[in-house]
Amino acid sequence: MSDTHAQTVAFVRDTMVEEQEPPLSQSGAYKWIHENMFSTPLNVILTVVSLFVIWTVLSHLLPWAVMGIWDADSLAQCREIRDEIYGADASVACWAVISERWNQLLFGFYPPELYWRPVLAFVLFLAAIAPVLFASVPRKALWFSAAAPFVLYWLLWGGSLWGPIAVAAGFALGAVVMRFAAPALGALAAVLLAIFVPLLYWFTLSGPLAGALNAVIPLELVNVRSNDMGGFMLAMIIGVSGIALSLPLGIVLALGRQSDLFIINKCSVIFIEVIRGVPLIVWLFTASLLLNYFLPPGTNFDLMLRVIIMVTLFSSAYIAEVVRGGLAALPKGQYEAADALGLDYWKSMRLIILPQALKISIPGIVNTFIGLFKDTTLVVFIGLLDPIGLSNAIRASTDWNGIYWELFVFIGLCFFIFCFSMGRYSLFLEKKLRREHR
Amino acid sequence: MTTMTDPPGQGFRLSQLIYDTRYRSLTIQVVAMIVLMLLFSWLVSNTIHNLQTLGKDFDFGFLTQPSGYDINQRLIEYDSQSTHGRAAIVGILNTLLVAVLGCALATVLGVIAGVLRLSNNWLVSRLMAVYVEGFRNVPLLLWIVLIFALMTESTPAPRAFRGDTPDASMLFDAVAITNRGVYVPAIHFASPFFTNGALNWLVVLVVLGASIFAIQRLRHWATAKQEATGDRPTTWYLILGILILPTGLLMLLMGAFLDMPSLQGFNFGGGIHLRNSLIALWLALSLYTGAFIAEIVRGGILAVNKGQTEAAYALGIRPSTTMNLVILPQALRVIIPPLISQFLNLTKNSSLAIAVGYMDVRSTLGGITINQTGRELEGMLLLGLFYLVLSLLISGVMNVYNASVKLKER
């Protein structure tokens, strides 16, 4: 059979054809470019338009930035150098303003001989924030994170070290009271006592105590006033304290808004809606213009502190809404399971509800933080020298009159780096905490 | 033989207020209430005391006094003899103007950028990612001052348009972009019905509104006919006619003509003068909010399950109809609520007008009026109330919408 069949067909292949490279149009860069840029007429148009946009922007921006002049004392000198090298028509950046005013942009009018203090504070801050952000850092380091706020305050503002220590002792006192009173008096009474005793201590004892200790062992740094701080240091101080303080406050507000207790619920709702309904800039003006009306005559406290309080209240209302979304997204079974285990309200919140709700709300919380950090620029309107305020101040000097883009680019890039890395961290955290669909 | 006995009647003990869950919530609330009342009365008494020491009272009478300052950008009649109240209204209108303009442009930009970011064109999607990340991660204030500087420093002065071979020229001979602002053609009426310009425009708007209403009825009629007979009558030329003819006729009747901006002396005259402050604020707000809207639109489209599209195709529905009837309604349910809250954010962010000297409500009522009359408390209170009422109104609208599109689960 096979013989006859073999004769009816002219040719039968008895070996495999060797594997061949795919055709050029179906492989490599050509295929990728074809599929991703020129697959349809519309795509061709889009690609051409985007290439044109990219070319326009880069052809103006790149030479301007790369050929920029880094070494000059004033804009006029910058232009002289430019005329010498590139000719009078060339458009080049004058980065010299950054290199010359670098310190001012970072520290404002902080005394130059004390620059080591904010630098050291920044390094310590990074060390303190690491165990909070990354679980791989040893947990013992969290003790340092807890102590960091007091150390940083002392480094930045100076004064006696005993002041922050005396304040910190109040928190320790509260923890001790809580520890020993809870078994004897019950939870509620212990909490009340743990709030009351430190308050009493702060109002009466802590001041004289710090003074006395300072008289015995003086540990003092030169005092720096808040007015002298500015630039990115100011943005960092306001941003970081706002972030650290607004998260707990926001969570409490969210719990209040979810609460069954009528009065607590309504108070939280009113607080959140009023704060969110009015722009931050109006709140900042309220802080600078009106606060003196609401407080006893003669009280006058630091403008920066007022700003931090306002920014904290503002973003805590936003965080409360984000966390409320997380709380509402949890299945009801989780609440019921916590009740069924016999956990009381705080335990069920702490152990079951909040860990899950916060995980859901991470993107929203981080977005709020990014917004807060960007909003620190608004303090320029009430007279604090944030980076944008400093750029105005630099422009007002005769040396740098008329310089715009270099400063804006620099400030924008710095903010971009901070905010973008915050956003990336939130993506990292989301991925790490994801428990389902691995 | 069992005897029912009451639990031992111990009466009410004071400790029950704390340890008995039946009373504890009441105790907590009463304590919270008392603390709040104390705090409030403390603040109010401080305020009263401080006001007395300063010799001030709490009085809104300043709103009826002449303001004595001028506002360069205004939508209604106003001069320095007008009252502070009118200045506040001018400011409110300016805030609403930039908010409405900004919301419109931001939506357009956001939708385009959001859709393009999902495009399978690698270059375009990356470009849009750069736009979104760039604008989201840099403070709005910086964008406002940057665009303002761009408008004032990089545009030609009016005298550059002068001469036989000018350095700068107008776009289409109609729009002049100068460092003093943008001049665009204005529509004026040669034989108006009313001497008051606003009333004429109101008439035009009413006619336009009536036309749109008529078009709605027409489409209803077409749909009804389609449902009854299966054939949809061709209506597009009717719709176009109804939209254009009545309004056009009315404008012709009133003798509408274009008033082109032209060089007069050292500056441009004629047309509408859009100040740099308005343009910079508008562009910056739109670009910034557009980046956020792009993310919302992208998320909304991605949130619609792919099975929905496939199911529609399996039913033999055409792609355009699938988009209109299957994808968009579901995507909009996800997109609209955060979109409206972005509008709200844009409106509140328009208070950054202070950076470029645009006269919004914060600059008039919350700025110059406060400085001139020394009524910080009243001025800030009114200002806060305005923003609060505005945002409550918008979120009220949002709640109504949410309720109307809520999935009706059975």
Of the listed ranges A153-157, B167-171, B284-288, B385-389, the least confidently predicted one is: B167-171
How far, in Å, CA of B351 to CA of A283, rounded? 11
Whether pLDDT at A354 is above 60? yes
Residue B266: C-alpha distances to residues B156, B168, B263 (Å):
13, 15, 7
Whether pLDDT at A320 is above 80? yes
CA atoms within 13 A on the CB side of A352: 19
The residues near A234 (Cβ < 8 Å, ≥ 6 apart) are A108, A304, A376, A379, A384, A385, A386
Question: Is B29 within 8 Å of A264 when comparing Cβ atoms?
Answer: yes
Which residues from B are below 8 Å from A91, CB to CB? none
A270 contacts chain B (CB < 8 A) = no
Best mutation target, B115, B145, B340, B395, to test chain A (most A CBs within 10 A)? B145
Q: What's the pLDDT tens digit per position in B354-367?
A: 888 888 888 888 88
Whether pLDDT at B408 is above 60? yes
Q: What mean pLDDT is predicted for residues B73-84? A: 78
**For position B396, what pLDDT does the model report?**
87
Length of chain B in terms of residues written: 410
Whether pLDDT at B10 is above 70? no
**For position A373, what pLDDT does the model report?**
92
**For position B174, what pLDDT does the model report?**
72
Which residues from B are below 8 Å from A276, CB to CB? 391
**For position A51, what pLDDT does the model report?**
92
**For position B1, what pLDDT does the model report?**
47
Q: What mean pLDDT is predicted for residues A377-405? A: 87
Q: pLDDT exceeding 90 applies to what percent of chain A? A: 24
Give which of A202, A219, A118 is closest to A161, Cα–Cα. A219
At B232, phi and psi to the nearest 5? -95, 120
**For position B88, what pLDDT does the model report?**
87
B240 contacts chain A (CB < 8 A) = no
Whether pLDDT at B75 is above 50? yes
Whether pLDDT at A259 is above 90? no
* β-sheet bridge partners, residue B184: B272
Whether pLDDT at A311 is above 50? yes
Task: Provide DSSP, A240-265.
Answer: HHHHHHHHHHHHHHHHHHH-S-HHHH
A292 contacts chain B (CB < 8 A) = yes
CB–CB of A407/A394 below 8 Å? yes
Q: What region does A186 belong to: left with phi over 0, alpha with psi -120 to 50, or beta?
A: left
**For position A207, what pLDDT does the model report?**
80
Q: What's the pLDDT tens digit per position in A40-64?
A: 888 889 899 999 999 999 998 888 8
Whether pLDDT at B410 is above 70? no
Whether pLDDT at A409 is above 50? yes
B137 pLDDT band (50/70/90 cuts)? very high
Which residues from B are below 8 Å from A46, CB to CB? 116, 119, 121, 123-124
Work out the angle at residue A289's Cα, subtended by the Cα atoms of residues A286 and A291, and round it to the nearest 5 degrees.
70
Whether pLDDT at B9 is above 60? no
Between positions 242 and 261 of A, the ones with CB within 8 A of B are 260-261
**For position A147, what pLDDT does the model report?**
87
CA atoms within 13 A on the CB side of A3: 0
Of the listed ranges A88-102, A258-272, A323-337, the least confidently predicted one is: A88-102
Enumerate the H helices of A1-40 as residue ranges.
2-8, 28-37
Whether pLDDT at B52 is above 80? yes
Which residues from B are below 8 Å from A381, CB to CB? 354-355
Give which of B29, B66, B109 is closest to B346, Cα–Cα. B109
**For position B363, what pLDDT does the model report?**
85
Strands (E), B335-392: none
**For position B4, what pLDDT does the model report?**
54
Best mutation target, B124, B148, B364, to test chain A (most A CBs within 10 A)? B124
Between positions 366 and 405 of B, the ones with CB within 8 A of A are 366, 370, 376-377, 380, 383-384, 387-388, 390-392
Instruction: Quote the minimal CA–CA distance from A294 to chain B in Å.
Output: 5
- Sketch the domain layout of chain A as residue ranges: 24-66, 102-110+226-433, 159-221
B18 contacts chain A (CB < 8 A) = yes
Question: Is A282 within 8 Å of B391 when comparing Cβ atoms?
Answer: no
User: What pairing do the DSSP bridges indicate for beta strands B267-269 and B262-264?
Assistant: antiparallel
**For position B262, what pLDDT does the model report?**
74
Q: What tokens appear for A150 in the block?
A: 């007091």
Enumerate the H helices of A158-205 as residue ranges.
162-185, 187-204
Whether pLDDT at B83 is above 90? no
Residue A382: C-alpha distances to residues A57, A303, A310, B85, B376 (Å):
36, 9, 13, 25, 14
Q: What's the pLDDT tens digit per position in B367-384?
A: 888 888 888 888 888 999
Q: What tokens appear for B201 in the block?
A: 């425009």
How far, in Å, CA of A376 to CA of A239, rounded? 6
Nearest-CB residue to B349 (from A36, A262, A279) = A279
Catalogue all structural domains in chain B, each as residue range(s) with its CATH number. 73-147+276-358+398-410 (1.10.3720.10)
Distance of CA A41 to the CA centre of its chain: 43
**For position B139, what pLDDT does the model report?**
93
Which residues from B are below 8 Å from A273, CB to CB? 388, 392
Q: What mean pLDDT is predicted for residues B9-23? A: 72
Residue A205 burial (C-beta neighbours within 10 Å; 0-12, 13-18, 19+): middle
Nearest-Å Rg of the Cα atoms of chain A is: 31
CA atoms within 13 A on the CB side of B178: 26
Q: What region does B173 belong to: left with phi over 0, alpha with psi -120 to 50, or beta?
A: left
Long-range contact list for A119-124, CB < 8 A, 24+ apart? Answer: A120/A155, A121/A152, A121/A155, A121/A156, A122/A236, A124/A148, A124/A151, A124/A152, A124/A155
**For position A371, what pLDDT does the model report?**
92
Work out the angle at residue B154's Cα, subtended by the Cα atoms of residues B148 and B160, and round it to the nearest 5 degrees.
125
Whether pLDDT at B329 is above 90? no
How far, in Å, CA of A139 to CA of B265, rounded? 74
Which residues from B are below 8 Å from A189, CB to CB? 18
Which is more confidently placed, B38 or B327? B38
Q: What's the pLDDT tens digit per position in A171-213?
A: 888 888 888 887 777 777 788 888 888 888 888 888 888 888 8
Q: What mean pLDDT is predicted for residues A253-258? A: 91
Between positions 326 and 365 of B, the ones with CB within 8 A of A are 348-349, 351-352, 354-355, 362
Question: Is B362 within 8 Å of A282 when comparing Cβ atoms?
Answer: yes
Cα dihedral sign, A378-A380-A386-A391: positive
A227 pLDDT band (50/70/90 cuts)? confident
Whether pLDDT at A129 is above 60? yes
Q: What mean pLDDT is predicted for residues A349-361? A: 89
Task: Tell the CATH superfamily of the A102-110+226-433 domain.
Answer: MetI-like (1.10.3720.10)
Q: What's the pLDDT tens digit per position in B208-251?
A: 899 999 999 988 998 898 888 888 888 888 888 888 888 888 87
